[in-house]
Amino acid sequence: MATSSVAFKSREDHRKQLELEEARKAGLAPAEVDEDGKEINPHIPQYMSSAPWYLNAERPSLKHQRKWKSDPNYTKSWYDRGAKIYQAEKYRKGACENCGAMTHNAKACMERPRKVGAKWTNKHIAPDEKIETFELDYDGKRDRWNGFDAASYARVIEQYEARDEARRKYLKEQQLKKLEEKNNNQDGEDGGSDEEDDDDALKVDEAKVDESKQMDFAKVEKRVRTTGGGSTGTVRNLRIREDTAKYLLNLEVNSAHYDPKTRSMREDPLPDADPNEKFYEGDNQNRVSGQALEFKQLNIHAWEAFEKGQDIHMQAAPSQAELLFKNYKVIKEKLKVRMKDTILEKYGNAATDEEIPKELLLGQTERQVEYDRAGRIIKGQEAALPKSKYEEDVFINNHTTVWGSWWKDHQWGYKCCKQMIRNSYCTGAAGIEAAEAATDLMKANIARKEATEEMPAPTEEKRLASWGSEVPDDLVLDQKLLVEALKKEDERKREEKDERKRKYNVRWNDEVTAEEMEAYRMKRIHHDDPMKDLLH
C-alpha cells in the first residue's frame, strides 16, 4: 500500500490489508494504480512506497520517489573549441603584444613567443577566440562526455575508408601490371594465365596479417617473485644493484640538479672528470645526440606540415611521416644546390679567384676562452641563464637591488639602502650610515638609562621641598602668582580629563617658576592619601 494514511485501523482491517498485500505479491489480486494510471509494483518495500505525512497523499502514489525538481542552471551546451569570432588585419590597441588577439594579454598567450611581436610587426595577427561561460551543476562539471559530437568520428571513418580504397586500388594496379608482363613474356597459346593471376591476387589478400598479431613481439615482460607465498608480479624494467644512482654521482650542493619526481639530471654531474671514464654525461647529452635529435627533427617537421594543411601524423602514420621527411630533405638539398649555382652564375665565386689575405685569416679578437685537456670550456663563456617572459630585475625609485633582497628581524627590504618600506626612495650608503648611527645612539641612551637606574646619585641630608628640589632659605612665594598658578593647574587637569577641550597647537615652556611648582605640589594626588577618592 503506497499511501501515508495514519488513520486508525481495527485489527480486522489490518488483517485484511495484510492479506490483500500478500495476494498482490502472489499475483492473485490486481496491483494498485497511482493517479497517472500506472501500476505500483507490490514488491516495493513499505518504507519506499509510503509517502511522508507532510505531503498529504490521499491516494497511492510514487511521486515522492521521482525527481520532480529540475535544475534551471543545468545546460548540455559546451565550449566551441577552437572557434574564432573575428580576424583583424592590423594591430589594435590593448591587444596581445605577441599575437595581436584581443581576448587575452601577452602573459596568457598560448602561441609561440615571437622574436618580434605583432604589436611592432603588424603582421600575422591571430584571430580573436570565442569566450563562453556556462553555469554547470555538479553533474555537468563532471560529465566527461559533455560536449562530445558523434559526427566528429565520421572523419576517422573516412580516413580508414580512404586507406582501404587506396589499398584496393594499389592491388588492382599490381594485378594489371603482372598481367601485362606475362602477356609480353608468354605466347598467346597459354590460356590458363588469367586464372593463375586471379589465384595470385587471392593469395596476396589472404597473406595480410593482423597488425595486433604483428605487435605481439613487443610485449616484453619480466616476472619477479614479490612475496614468500609464491606470488609473482610483472614489472616494466629492472636495474641491477651494481649501478650507481644519478643523485649519488656528485653530492655537492652546487652540482647538477636532480629532479626526484622525473628521476632526471639534465646537466653533467661530473664535468671535470675524464670523458673516457664517464658513462653518464647528463640527460641533455642524450637529447641532443644520436637518434633522439633525428626523432625531434622528424616531430617538428610533422607538426609544421600538419599546420600547413598536409594530412600527416607522427603517431598515427609514422612510416608516412618518415618518408615525407626524407623526401623533404632531398628536395631542400636540391633547392639549396640550385640556389647556390644561380648565385655563383650571377655574381661569380671570389673565393676561387684569389686567396684570402692573411689579415683576414689570422684575425684577432679581445675575447679569451680557456679550455682544459678534454676540450671543455673553463673560463670565458658562462652558461646562459634561462629567462621567463615575466619582468625581472626591475629597479624602482633609484634602487640598485630588488625588493626582497634583504632580510632582517622578520621583515623584507632593499639590500642597497637597507630600508623596509616597499615604495621608499633609495638613500644609498648615506641612509645606511644614518640608520646605523640612529641605532648606536638608541643603544647608548638605553645603556645610560640602565646605568642611571642601577646606580642612583647620592643625596645629602638637606631640607628638600615636597616637589623634590632644594628650597633656598630666602625663598619667598608671591601670593598673586601662586593663585594664578593654581588656576592654570586646575585648567590643565580639566583638559586631561576631557579630551575635547584639549588644544591642537600646544606650546611648551620648560622654564617653571617656584609658584607653578608649588601649585603642582599642592594639586597633585598622593597615592597614600586615604581621602584621594573623595577629591573632584
Summarised one tens digit per residue, pLDDT across range 332-364 is 999 999 999 999 989 887 767 667 666 666 666
The whole domain housing 533 covers: 478-495+511-536
Residue 477, number of CB atoms within 10 A of its CB: 14
* Residue 23 within any structural domain of the chain: yes
Same domain, 434 and 482: no
Quickly tell me which residue has 561561460 as its cell. Answer: 133
Q: Is 518 exposed, middle or buried (0-12, 13-18, 19+ CB in 10 A)?
A: buried
Chain segment 449-501, per-residue pLDDT in tens:
888 876 655 544 433 344 555 556 567 788 888 889 898 888 888 877 777 76
* Residue 436 within any structural domain of the chain: yes
28, 44, 65 — which closes off a domain? 65
Enumerate the β-bridge partners of residue 233: 224
Which three cell numbers mark 243?
Answer: 649501478
State how far the Cα of 415 lies from the Cα of 427, in Å rounded to an integer. 11
Closest CA to 100 of 110, 108, 90, 86: 90
State how far the Cα of 406 lies from the Cα of 466, in Å rounded to an integer. 54
Question: In this predicted structure, what is the pLDDT of residue 339?
Answer: 95
* Residue 439 within any structural domain of the chain: yes
Containing H/E element for 75? none
Quickly tell me which residue has 617656584 as its cell. Answer: 514
Quickly tell me which residue has 576631557 as its cell. Answer: 498
pTM: 0.27
Cβ proximity of 515 and 481 under 8 Å: yes
CB under 8 Å to 151, separation ≥6 — which residues?
A: none
Question: In this predicted structure, what is the pLDDT of residue 199?
Answer: 55
Q: State whether residue 431 is helix, strand or coil.
A: helix
Encode 460-492 in three state secondary structure: CCCCECCCCCECCCCCCCCHHHHHHHHHHHHHH
Question: In this predicted structure, what is the pLDDT of residue 221?
Answer: 46
Q: What are phi and psi of 484, to 5 degrees?
A: -65, -40
Same domain, 58 and 18: yes
Q: State whether residue 117 is helix, strand or coil.
A: coil
Question: In this predicted structure, what is the pLDDT of residue 243?
Answer: 78
Cβ proximity of 98 and 111 under 8 Å: yes
Same domain, 20 and 59: yes
Q: State whether residue 239 is helix, strand or coil.
A: coil
* Residue 486 within any structural domain of the chain: yes
Sites in the chain below the pLDDT cut of 50: 4-5, 202-204, 206-231, 459-466
Question: In this predicted structure, what is the pLDDT of residue 66?
Answer: 80
* Residue 164 within any structural domain of the chain: no
Closest CA to 98 of 110, 87, 89: 110
Same domain, 534 and 484: yes
State how far the Cα of 507 lies from the Cα of 526, in Å rounded to an integer. 28
State how far the Cα of 24 lies from the Cα of 40, in Å rounded to an integer. 10
Instruction: Find the distance separating the first CA and the last CA of the chain, reported in whole Å.
Output: 87
Containing H/E element for 257? none
* Number of domains observed in the structure of the chain: 3
* Residue 526 within any structural domain of the chain: yes
Cβ proximity of 31 and 22 under 8 Å: no
Which three cell numbers mark 174?
Answer: 599490381
Long-range pairs for 269-275: beta carbons < 8 A, 24 or more residues apart? 271/376, 272/372, 272/376, 274/374, 275/374
Cβ proximity of 40 and 31 under 8 Å: yes
Enumerate the β-bridge partners of residue 234: 223
* Residue 424 within any structural domain of the chain: yes
Same domain, 482 and 536: yes
* Residue 375 within any structural domain of the chain: no
Question: In this predicted structure, what is the pLDDT of residue 59?
Answer: 82
CB under 8 Å to 397, separation ≥6 — which residues?
A: 423, 424, 425, 426
Distances from the Cα of 95 to the Cα of 86, 122, 187, 465, angstroms: 13, 12, 77, 83
Q: Is 468 exposed, middle or buried (0-12, 13-18, 19+ CB in 10 A)?
A: exposed
Question: In this predicted structure, what is the pLDDT of residue 455?
Answer: 63
88-125: buried (b, 16+ CB within 10 Å) or exposed (e) per residue? eeebeeebbebbbbbbbeeeebeeeebeebbbeeeeeb
